[in-house]
Amino acid sequence: MACSDYLTILNILIAILGILFVLVTIYEYWKLRTIRTEFEAYRKQLSADLYRSQQAQQRLIAAYQITDPVRRIALATSATHIDPDIFNVWNTIGWAWLQHNEPARAVESFREAIRRHPADKSGYFDLAAAYLKLNSPGMALDALEQAVAEDATSRLDLVNNDLFTELKDNPRFTKLLTK
């Protein structure tokens, strides 16, 4: 083969590489535009979620100021219609039901708090308190055992906790403190 044949092959390879480079550039540009569009949609959704969450939190904060349990339940429940996952809303509703002397409805609220935030030990503690109001110490201990299983620091919160004084002589309760 002559030297000019090698130059021709080299020119063809360079042209193919040039075309591949252009194609990769076009693909990356298209991909970048797609990512940017998705990011903008995500940013808008995040902004809407944040606004919705703040609206619900403001209602919950306002509910804390209300002493009448029925009105507190109504306002906190309206917050759940805006954002059912805001922190502490279901616990607030449950405690208002307890204040209104309806522990069975409080249990429902505390169960919802646990369902939505299973890593938060306060839902389990509040559920245990509601079960004690229903004279169900076994169910209360079940809830406390779940709290300790979910978060080991719950043991420290049980020591000298006035909500659970009637359980202090129970062997299951003692076992929770000593594990």
pTM given for the model:
0.78
pLDDT number for residue 179 = 67
Q: What is the dihedral of CA 60, 64, 68, 71, to 10 degrees?
A: -10
Is residue 145 predicted with pLDDT exceeding 80? yes
Residue ranges per domain, the chain? 3-178
State pLDDT tens for residues 76-127. Answer: 999 999 999 999 999 999 999 999 999 999 999 999 999 999 999 999 999 9
Q: Which of 51-60, 80-89, 90-99, 155-164 has the lowest mean pLDDT?
A: 155-164
Q: What is the pLDDT of residue 159?
A: 87
Please state the rounded mean pLDDT for residues 12-16.
92
The CATH class of 3-178 is mainly alpha
